[in-house]
Amino acid sequence: MSHKTYVHGYSKRESERLSDQAQTLTALLHGDTWYSPGSQVLEAGCGIGAQTVILAKNSPGAYFTSLDISADSLQRAGLTIKNEGITIVSFLQGDIFHPPFEPETFDHVFVCFVLEHLAEPQRALERLRLLLKKGGTITVIEGDHGSTFFHPDSQYAQKAIDCLIHLQRDAGGNALIGRQLYPLLVDAGYSDVQVSPRMVYVDASRPALVEGFTKLTFTAMIEGVGDAAHRQGLITKEEWEQGIRDLYRTAEPDGVFCYTFFKAYGIRT
Amino acid sequence: MSHKTYVHGYSKRESERLSDQAQTLTALLHGDTWYSPGSQVLEAGCGIGAQTVILAKNSPGAYFTSLDISADSLQRAGLTIKNEGITIVSFLQGDIFHPPFEPETFDHVFVCFVLEHLAEPQRALERLRLLLKKGGTITVIEGDHGSTFFHPDSQYAQKAIDCLIHLQRDAGGNALIGRQLYPLLVDAGYSDVQVSPRMVYVDASRPALVEGFTKLTFTAMIEGVGDAAHRQGLITKEEWEQGIRDLYRTAEPDGVFCYTFFKAYGIRT
C-alpha cells in the first residue's frame, strides 16, 4: 500500500529521529510513569523499543511484556534492551487486536505513539482493557500535530504539516488523536479517566529542545513525508520547500515552537 | 474608530466574562506570582481590576500602583478593590507609553492581557523597563488565540476564531502575541527571560472549566465579535452560527478544548 512508504518509524533516519525524540522528551512524558515492584506490565506496540528502555529503567522491579506486530522492530528493540543490560522485558510478536494473552493477565497497560496509526483506536483500547486485571491501569501517550504553532507564523509551514495529517488520515491513522484521548478512553469503558497535556515549548533559552525537538524530531518528521506529499499532489515543490525553511526558521534565536502531547490514565473497574 | 466597537472589556457582559475568566484561571496563571513585603509593584494596564484583586491578595505586604488609560475602567477597578477591603493599591490614569513616573521607581512590573492590544508591544516593554530598579523583574501574561484547538474539530469554529484574530489585527493589536513573549522581552532589553506555557485543558472531568472557560470565557469572547465580523464581511451568517455551535459542541461530555496562555519573566540588569 502506498502509505507504507510514508509511515514513520521504518527507515534508518527515522529510527535515529525516534531515538533523539525519546531522549529529549523523557522527563516531560515519562517522568511520572513508574510501576510497583512485581507488577506485570504490557507495552502494547513497542516499536524499536525507544519507550521500552525508559519504562524498564523507571521501574526496575516490574516485569514488562512488549508486544509489536513487526518482527523487524522487535528484533531491534531486543538488541537495544540487551545492550542496556536490561533483563526484565520479554518481547512478543502479535496483533493488538488479537493479543496472545488470557483475559486479566496484566496489572498495567502502556501505549505510546500507537493509537495514531490505528483505524480503530477505540476498539484497540477495548481489547486492551480485557487484558487488565480489575483495578489495573492503562497509560496512553499520543501527540497531536494540530497542536503545533510557532513564531514566526507561516502558512507554508502549516501547509507542510497538513500534508502529514492528510497522509496519516489516508493511511487509516489520525495525527490529531492526542486531543481525543479523554473521550476514547471513556468510550472504551475505562473509569476515572484523567488527561494531562504536555506541551513542548521551545525558545532559544532551551537549546537542547531547539536541536532535539524542533529540528531533529518535528521538522525531520515533516521532511520525511515530502516525497509522498508531492506524489499525491498535496503541495507544490516550492510551497513545500518554503514550509520546511519556515519550520527551521522557528529554531533561530528569536523563534518559538510549541507542540503538545497528551498523557491519559484510566482504570479497569 | 470602528474597532472600538469590538475591543473586549468595555460592555457589561464582557466585564462579567472577564470576571469569570479571572476566577477560573487564577491558580493556573497567578499561583506563582507573589511579591515580597514592602516591594513597589507597577501593574501596567489594570483594566477593571480583575487581576489587581488577585495580585493584592497574593502579596498582602506589597504596594501596588495600577495604571490604566481608561478613567471608566479605573473607577470600576477602584470600586472592586474597595469592596474587597484592599488598601494597598493606588490607581492612576496614564499612558503606558508616557508613564507618569520617574525612572527606576519600581521593584517589579506586572502586565497581563495588555500587549495583545498594542501596536508597539516591544516599545511598551522598553518604556516599562526604564521604570524598574536595577535587578527588578517584569512579569507578562498573554493569551494566544492561534493556540486554540478542540474536539470535535471544526473548520467553522476555526473560521470564527480567525475573525477575532483578523479584527484584533485591524485594530492594531495581535491575538497571537503569547508565543512571541520570549523574543519581545529579549529584544526589549530584559535579561534571563523565561517563558512558561499555561495550557487550559478542558474535558468533561473538569466541569468548572467547561463552564468557566470553554463557554463563559472563550466562546463568549468569540461571540462578542459576531457583529463586527459580519459588518466587515469576514464570514457569512451561516458559517458564523455553525462556528459558534461547534465551539459550544466542544463543551459536551465527549468534547475537549485547549487554549494556551504564556507567562514570561525578565530582569532589568
Helix axes B71-83, B50-58, angle to 10 degrees: 40
CA A32-A62-A24 angle, 5° bins:
40
Residue A161: left if φ>0, alpha if ψ -120 to 50, beta else—which one? alpha
Q: Which residues of B touch A197 (CB under 8 A)?
A: 199, 201, 258
- Name the residue facing B180 among A146, A151, A199 (closest C-beta): A151
pLDDT for the residue A230: 96
**pLDDT value at position B26?**
86
Optimal mutation site among A165, A184, A199, A265, interface B, most CBs of chain B within 10 A: A199
Whether residue B146 and residue A146 make contact (CB cut-off 8 A), yes or no, is no
CB-CB under 8 Å, A151 with B146: no
Place of cell 491513522: A173
Mean pLDDT of chain B: 93
Mean per-residue pLDDT for B148-159? 98
Please give the ipTM for the structure prediction.
0.90
In this predicted structure, what is the pLDDT of residue A40? 98
Please name the residues in contact with A87: beta carbons below 8 A apart, sequence gap of 6 or more. Answer: none
Nearest CB neighbour to B260, from listed A144, A195, A199: A199
Q: Which one-letter amino acid corresponds to residue B48?
A: I
pLDDT level of residue B25 (50, 70, 90 thresholds): confident
Query: Would you call the peptide bond into B207 cis, given omega within 30 degrees of 0 as the criterion?
Result: no
Taking an 8 Å cut-off on Cβ atoms, the answer to whether A151 and B255 are in contact is: no
Nearest by CB to residue B151, choosing from A180, A199, A201, is: A180
Q: Is the pLDDT of residue B106 over 60?
A: yes
* Residue type for position A229: A
In angstroms, the separation between the Cα of residue A202 and the nearest Cα of chain B is 9
Express each pLDDT in A110-165 by its tens digit: 999 999 999 999 999 999 999 999 999 999 999 999 999 999 999 999 999 999 99
Whole-number pLDDT of residue B3? 36
For A267, half-sphere exposure in the C-beta direction (CA atoms, 13 angstrom radius) is: 6
Residue B1 has pLDDT above 50, yes or no: no
B 164-193 → A contacts, CB under 8 A:
176, 179-180, 182-183, 186-187, 193
Is B144 in CB contact (< 8 Å) with chain A?
A: yes
Give the residue from chain B lying closest to A252, CA to CA: B183
Beta bridge partners of A43: A66, A110
Judge: A179–B255 Cβ closer than 8 Å, yes or no: no
Q: Which residues of A touch B150 (CB under 8 A)?
A: 179
Beta carbons of A176 and B153 less than 8 Å apart: yes
pLDDT of residue B14: 62
Q: Does B256 touch chain A (CB under 8 A)?
A: yes
Q: What is the pLDDT of residues B3-24, one digit of tens each?
A: 334 445 456 666 665 555 556 6
Residues of chain B above pLDDT 70, percent: 91
Share of chain B above pLDDT 90, in %: 88
CB contact under 8 A, B258 and A201: no
CB contact under 8 A, A256 and B203: no
Closest-CA distance, A151 to chain B, in angstroms, reads 7
Residue A201 with chain B: CB contacts under 8 Å:
195-197
Which of chain B's residues have a Cβ under 8 Å away from the Cβ of A180? 151, 256
Q: Which phi-psi region, left, alpha or beta, contains residue A135 (left: φ > 0; alpha: ψ -120 to 50)?
A: left
User: Closest Cα of chain B to A129: distance in Å?
Assistant: 20
What b/e sequence results for A11-23 when a residue is b if at least 16 CB atoms lie within 10 Å of its CB, and e otherwise?
Answer: eeebbebbbbbbb
Residues 6 or more apart from A179 whose CB is under 8 A from it?
Answer: A144, A146, A147, A262, B149, B150, B151, B256, B258
The CA R_g of chain B, rounded to the nearest whole Å, is: 18
DSSP assignment of B214-249, as one string? IIIIIIHHHHTTHHHHHHTTSS-HHHHHHHHHHHHH
DSSP lists the bridge partners of residue A111 as A140
DSSP chain A: -GGGGT-TTSSHHHHHHHHHHHHHHHHHHHTT----TT-EEEEE--TTSHHHHHHHHH-TTSEEEEEES-HHHHHHHHHHHHHTT--SEEEEE-BTTB-SS-TT-EEEEEEES-GGG-S-HHHHHHHHHHHEEEEEEEEEEEEEEEEEEEES--HHHHHHHHHHHHHHHHTT--TT-GGGHHHHHHHTT-EEEEEEEEEEEE-TT-HHHIIIIIIIIIIHHHHTTHHHHHHTTSS-HHHHHHHHHHHHHTTSTT-EEEEEEEEEEEE--
pLDDT digits (tens, 9 = 90+) for B34-71: 999 999 999 999 999 999 999 999 999 999 999 999 99
pLDDT at B2: 33
Give the model's pLDDT for residue A27: 85
Q: What is the pLDDT of residue A4?
A: 38
Decide if B252 touches A, using CB distance below 8 A. no
DSSP β-ladder status, A63-68 and A106-112? unpaired
Q: B146 CB near a chain A CB, below 8 Å?
A: yes
Give contacts of B197 with chain A, Cβ < 8 Å: 199, 201, 258
CB pairs under 8 A between A and B: 81
Q: What cell does B267 get?
A: 530582569
Do A197 and B199 lie within an 8 Å CB cutoff?
yes
Q: What is the maximal distance between C-alpha atoms in chain A?
A: 56
Q: Do B205 and A194 touch (CB under 8 A)?
A: yes
Measuring CA to CA, which residue among B217, B176, B212, B185 is closest to residue B8?
A: B217
Which residues of chain A are under the pLDDT cut of 50? 1-7, 9
Predicted pLDDT at B10: 53
Provide mean pLDDT across the span B122-140.
98
Task: Round to whole Å and give the CA distance between A201 and B144.
Answer: 14
CB proximity under 8 Å: B 54-113 to A? none
Contact with chain B for residue A197, Cβ under 8 A: yes
Specify the pLDDT at position B4: 38
d(CA A151, CA B179): 7
User: What pTM did the predictor assign?
Assistant: 0.91
Which residues of chain A have a CB within 8 Å of the CB of B199?
197, 199, 260
